[in-house]
A and B are shown apart, each in its own frame.
Chain A
Amino acid sequence: MNAANFLANILVLGVPFSVALLLAGLGEMFNQRAGVFNLGCEGIMAMGAFLAFLPPYFLGAAMPMGAANLLGIAVAMGAGALLGLLFALVTVTFRAPQGIAGIGLQMLGWGTAGTLFRHYVGGVTGVQGIKSLPIPGLSKIPLLGPILFDHNPLVYLAFLLVPASWYLLFKTPWGLKVRSVGTYPRAADTLGINVRRVRYQALALGGAMAGLAGAYLSLAQAKMFADDLIAGRGFIAVALVYFGRWSPVGIMGGALLFSLAQSFQLSVQVAGIKFPYEFAVMLPYVLVIVVLSLAKKARGAEPSDLGKPFDREQRV
């Protein structure tokens, strides 16, 4: 396999690999912009992945695949939103420290998904998953075609969510509230904005997107479920938000960067290059650390209230 093909291969694989990170990252962006960081993203993704997998697995024979997939996605997003709300209860209402609470949610989500999986499914089985949907015409463009236009619908959706998220965050009243609540909640409070409610909403949205990211992994990417399916992507998504400076475009860039590291690992094996498998697998994680180390403190980009609970009298 020559160099050009090798590179092209990495890119073709890289784009779909970035979707899970992108979706979870965008969701986490809303969380963090509102002032809360949710490390339980990983656990929500696990639950989302499992729940999305269930309908096609059980009902695949009884209803058209497309409907089963949609049902799975809907369930995953619903569960994700609920878990986001649970996290909001713990961190916004009870004002518990967000870091540890996130780890707790991660364990809860991961453990529940694993328990339910072992009980209801047992072994590792595949599903048909979501089929690819090449855009007619465009997908035939040499080199760029397969990279950009020959993917399943969720991939297109994920990338469309980038400008949509930007609009939501910067051009709508809700986005304005979210940004104020994450930077200077007291100011928002004095203007009659219900800080807690906005944070709950943001966490629900973030949770739903994390659930969707999980659904993508089990239905579209791996087309199966296993305990280690998520493999740290939830945590990487949280790091991504910081790296991407809490902006949709930055997060998209970061997601692509990390997914390239992963597709590199796969391409290496396919190309038969002698590189220890485990070190290739390590690459994305090491990359996260490197990226976090190099990211400098951005003035004015960080939601200044990130991580702090909002503390004021309950209002009747």
Chain B
Amino acid sequence: MNKAFKLAYGAMVALAAAAAAMLVGALVMAAIGADVAKTYATILTEPLKDLFGLTEIVVRAIPLSLIALGVAVAFRSGILNIGAEGQMLMGILASSATAIALPELPKPLLLPLALLAGAAGGALWGSLAGLLKARLGVNEILSTVMLNYVAAQFYTFLLRGPMMDPQELLTGTGTPQTVRLPKAAWLDRLVPGTRLHYGLVIALVLAVAVFLLLWRTTLGFRMRAAGAEAKAARYAGVSVERYLVVAMLLSGAFAGLAGAVEVLGVHRRAIEGISGGYGFTGIVVALFGGLHPAGIVPASAFFGLLLLGADMTQRSASVPANMVLVLQGAIILSIVSARQFMNNPYVQDKATRRLAKLFGKAPPLSPAVAEAACPDPSDVAEPCAAGEPGAAGASAGAAPGAGKGGRA
């Protein structure tokens, strides 16, 4: 498959997934008697109606993209990090604590320091799951999910206790939140009158960095190899366990940074509910974006739109904001199904031919697999899938040995 085809294919998968998901969403909406068309229209178009809406989409897209980039790095390295939620919270704590502890530092020092602290907090939390998997073989989905719950409790504990704003104690209101963070730690606003902040720059730079890391460096090569086929990677000398931990450090760092960026750019104090489910939405964004920065950036914008739209429907169409979770779950299910379905070699073959016709190119020669007769199922793990009588008609003519200058 050449590059153009790969892109078209990927887009097809994303669209099919979105359509299936919207269908499921429509079912749930119908169950609560909401106007399906109106709701979708609200979700997808309301936010785009004014500048504020547009900037709010980006405000949400920033932490989403950072988390999704981290998730992509982890998934591609073979470790399924579901702990972004907890890692983000740890990042928020770390960066807030740093800012609160060092208010006299000037901005050029405090801001980067706070951001780094956030990344470090997330990295540390993520590395726990990485080490558990590498050393003790603990399933990372379970450990990261558990760590999410632990982090949430820890966060609440600190915000209600040691880190609570002393003002709250005095006035007796007891809102679990920290003091307003020093101005020197703030990420400045890009567009006055909106909440859009410089975190955008950070996110875009890191998107490029992730691409370079995974596909242009030796470290990325090792990580991708470990994630794609751990056995072969070991045979090639890659220490799979080590890179599992590295991947979780990076992934956690991104989530922690997302938290830091959110607290320093948007809220300027640590409050409850700050993570807003970004940790889980970020995973969906990563999948929807094909685990690639080029897909993640637009996907984050799309999901920023969805999140904002869902908030709006709560007000206007009285559809609860939880609806967004339904859509996300449905999207995950449809993406993984669609991808698997389309990875079926028979379907791929058929799709290749149709798309080739669409683009006006000659249909491709039968794959090199035609070299020998299809391996027999009982000695090979992945036998060729079912065929229809028609499909092989063309390729039987193309004959085994259809390479260039092949022998008969």
Is B323 located at the chain interface by the 8 A CB criterion? Answer: yes
Determine whether the beta carbon of B146 is less than 8 Å from that of A288. Answer: yes
Which residues 146-182 of A have a CB within 8 angstroms of B? none
Would A96 and B340 be within 8 Å (CB), given that A118-B322, A286-B150 are in contact?
Answer: yes
Is B320 located at the chain interface by the 8 A CB criterion? Answer: yes
Using Cβ atoms and an 8 Å threshold, which residues of chain A touch B101? none
Is A39 located at the chain interface by the 8 A CB criterion? Answer: yes
Determine whether the beta carbon of B32 is less than 8 Å from that of A119. Answer: yes
Using Cβ atoms and an 8 Å threshold, which residues of chain B touch A279? 153, 157
Using Cβ atoms and an 8 Å threshold, which residues of chain A touch B157? 276-279
Measured CA separation A6–B184 after assembly (Å) = 51
Using Cβ atoms and an 8 Å threshold, which residues of chain A touch B327? 111
Determine whether the beta carbon of A242 is less than 8 Å from that of B139. Answer: yes
Determine whether the beta carbon of B323 is less than 8 Å from that of A311. Answer: no
Using Cβ atoms and an 8 Å threshold, which residues of chain A touch B45? none
Determine whether the beta carbon of B333 is less than 8 Å from that of A104. Answer: yes
Determine whether the beta carbon of A107 is less than 8 Å from that of B280. Answer: yes
Determine whether the beta carbon of A115 is less than 8 Å from that of B141. Answer: no
Shortest Cβ distance from residue A45 to the other chain B in the assembled complex, whole angstroms: 14
Determine whether the beta carbon of B322 is less than 8 Å from that of A231. Answer: no
Is B149 located at the chain interface by the 8 A CB criterion? Answer: yes
Is B4 located at the chain interface by the 8 A CB criterion? Answer: no
Determine whether the beta carbon of B333 is less than 8 Å from that of A293. Answer: no
Is A301 located at the chain interface by the 8 A CB criterion? Answer: no
Determine whether the beta carbon of B139 is less than 8 Å from that of A292. Answer: yes
Which residues 136-151 of B have a CB within 8 angstroms of A? 136-139, 141-143, 145-147, 149-150
Query: What are the interface flags for A75-96 relative to B under an 8 Å C-beta threshold, 1 for contact and 0 otherwise?
Result: 0000000000010011000111
Measured CA separation A286–B153 after assembly (Å) = 11
Shortest Cβ distance from residue A20 to the other chain B in the assembled complex, whole angstroms: 16
Determine whether the beta carbon of A278 is less than 8 Å from that of B377. Answer: no
Contact of A90 among B138, B146, B323, B337 (CB under 8 A): B337
Is B24 located at the chain interface by the 8 A CB criterion? Answer: yes
Is A282 located at the chain interface by the 8 A CB criterion? Answer: yes
Which residues 236-290 of A have a CB within 8 angstroms of B? 238-239, 242, 276-279, 281-282, 285-286, 288-289
Interface centre among B33, B322, B385 (most CB of A within 10 A): B322
Determine whether the beta carbon of A313 is less than 8 Å from that of B385. Answer: yes
Using Cβ atoms and an 8 Å threshold, which residues of chain B touch A100? 80, 287, 332, 336
Using Cβ atoms and an 8 Å threshold, which residues of chain A touch B377? 312-313
Using Cβ atoms and an 8 Å threshold, which residues of chain B touch A18? none
Measured CA separation A276–B154 after assembly (Å) = 10
Determine whether the beta carbon of A105 is less than 8 Å from that of B333. Answer: yes
Using Cβ atoms and an 8 Å threshold, which residues of chain A touch B382? 311
Shortest Cβ distance from residue B223 to the other chain A in the assembled complex, whole angstroms: 19
A-B interface pairs (CB < 8 A), number: 155
Shortest Cβ distance from residue A253 to the other chain B in the assembled complex, whole angstroms: 18
Using Cβ atoms and an 8 Å threshold, which residues of chain B touch A286? 146, 150
Using Cβ atoms and an 8 Å threshold, which residues of chain A touch B320? 114-115, 118-119
Query: What are the interface flags for A35-50 relative to B under an 8 Å C-beta threshold, 1 for contact and 0 otherwise?
Result: 0000100010000000
Which residues 146-175 of B have a CB within 8 angstroms of A? 146-147, 149-150, 153-154, 156-157, 160-161
Using Cβ atoms and an 8 Å threshold, which residues of chain A touch B324? 111
Determine whether the beta carbon of B341 is less than 8 Å from that of A297. Answer: no
Interface centre among B24, B32, B141, B378 (most CB of A within 10 A): B141
Interface centre among A108, A186, A313 (most CB of B within 10 A): A108
Is A66 located at the chain interface by the 8 A CB criterion? Answer: no
B-side interface mostly: helix
Using Cβ atoms and an 8 Å threshold, which residues of chain A touch B146? 232, 235, 239, 285-286, 288-289
Shortest Cβ distance from residue A161 to the other chain B in the assembled complex, whole angstroms: 24
Measured CA separation A97–B80 after assembly (Å) = 11
Using Cβ atoms and an 8 Å threshold, which residues of chain B touch A110? 325, 329
Is A101 located at the chain interface by the 8 A CB criterion? Answer: yes
Which residues 281-309 of A have a CB within 8 angstroms of B? 281-282, 285-286, 288-289, 292-293, 297, 309
Using Cβ atoms and an 8 Å threshold, which residues of chain B touch A278? 153-154, 156-157, 160
Shortest Cβ distance from residue B246 to the other chain A in the assembled complex, whole angstroms: 20
Is B82 located at the chain interface by the 8 A CB criterion? Answer: yes
Contact of A94 among B28, B153, B287, B341 (CB under 8 A): B341
Shortest Cβ distance from residue B28 to the other chain A in the assembled complex, whole angstroms: 5
Measured CA separation A281–B325 after assembly (Å) = 25
Query: What are the interface flags for B322-348 relative to A under an 8 Å C-beta threshold, 1 for contact and 0 otherwise?
Result: 111111111111001101110000000
Using Cβ atoms and an 8 Å threshold, which residues of chain B touch A116? 28, 31-32
Contact of B142 among A97, A281, A292 (CB under 8 A): A292
Measured CA separation A297–B136 after assembly (Å) = 10
Shortest Cβ distance from residue A84 to the other chain B in the assembled complex, whole angstroms: 13
Using Cβ atoms and an 8 Å threshold, which residues of chain B touch A293? 132, 136, 138
Interface centre among B139, B146, B283, B378 (most CB of A within 10 A): B146
Using Cβ atoms and an 8 Å threshold, which residues of chain A touch B283? 103
Is A31 located at the chain interface by the 8 A CB criterion? Answer: no
Measured CA separation A289–B327 after assembly (Å) = 30
Determine whether the beta carbon of B329 is less than 8 Å from that of A97. Answer: no
Using Cβ atoms and an 8 Å threshold, which residues of chain A touch B154? 278, 282
Measured CA separation A231–B32 after assembly (Å) = 25
Would A285 and B322 be within 8 Å (CB), given that A99-B80, A107-B332 are in contact?
Answer: no
6 A-B pairs whose Cβ atoms sit less than 8 Å apart in the complex? A100-B332, A101-B333, A120-B32, A235-B145, A239-B142, A281-B153
Given contacts A104-B333, A279-B153, 19 further A-B contacts (CB under 8 A): A101-B333, A104-B329, A104-B336, A105-B329, A108-B24, A111-B324, A111-B328, A115-B319, A115-B326, A231-B149, A232-B149, A235-B145, A235-B146, A282-B149, A282-B150, A286-B146, A286-B150, A289-B147, A312-B383
Binding site for A on B (CB under 8 A): 24, 28, 31-33, 80, 82, 132, 136-139, 141-143, 145-147, 149-150, 153-154, 156-157, 160-161, 280, 283-284, 287, 318-320, 322-333, 336-337, 339-341, 377-378, 381-383, 385-386
